């Protein structure tokens, strides 16, 4: 007669949030080293508690308006992973206009915007169109 396996207890289960066991000061040190807006957004979605800690602590990357753009992009990408949803997984003009209207927007962020949304074919160069006479 075979014995049924023993039910798992809380002590047997591995922790679901490895970062949760670290002190908040160490969380902040880790988050200070995150230098890409996409990574900041991913951290915030993976562990909302860490995202809130970063925002409340005033970490610059998490307060930048480009962080909001990265969050929107990541959320759209997650929705696109659903086989029943058909949405473009890139930035759209509305999001870019909202970002550009923010007084904290910077031309320094343009390379990141161009990299995360190649379908928009963003360019920092201005070209003149010559009309045929």
8-31: average pLDDT: 74
Asked if residue 125 belongs to a domain, the reply is no
Asked if residue 52 belongs to a domain, the reply is yes
Given a cut of 60, whether residue 2 has pLDDT beyond it is no
Q: pLDDT per residue over 82-131, tens digit each?
A: 666 555 555 677 788 888 888 888 888 888 888 877 766 666 665 656 66
The structural domain count of the chain equals 1
pTM across the whole model: 0.66
The confidence score (pLDDT) of residue 95 equals 80
Q: pLDDT per residue over 61-76, tens digit each?
A: 898 888 988 888 888 7
Residue-range definition of the domain harbouring residue 110: 22-116
DSSP labels for 83-124? Answer: TT-----S--HHHHHHHHHSTT--GGGHHHHHHH-GGG---S
User: Which is more confidently placed, 9 or 51?
Assistant: 51
């Amino acid at each position: 007669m075979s014995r049924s396996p023993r039910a798992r207890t809380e002590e047997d289960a591995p922790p679901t949030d490895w970062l949760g066991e670290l002190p908040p000061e160490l969380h902040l040190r880790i988050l200070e080293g995150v230098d890409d807006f996409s990574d900041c957004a991913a951290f915030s979605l993976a562990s909302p508690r860490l995202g809130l800690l970063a925002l409340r602590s005033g970490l610059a990357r998490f307060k930048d308006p480009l962080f909001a753009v990265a969050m929107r992009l990541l959320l759209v990408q997650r929705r696109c992973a659903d086989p029943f949803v058909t949405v473009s997984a890139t930035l759209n003009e509305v999001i870019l206009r909202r970002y550009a209207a923010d007084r904290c927007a910077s031309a320094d962020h343009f390379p990141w915007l161009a990299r995360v949304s190649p379908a928009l074919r963003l360019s920092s160069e201005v070209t003149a169109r010559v009309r045929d006479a």
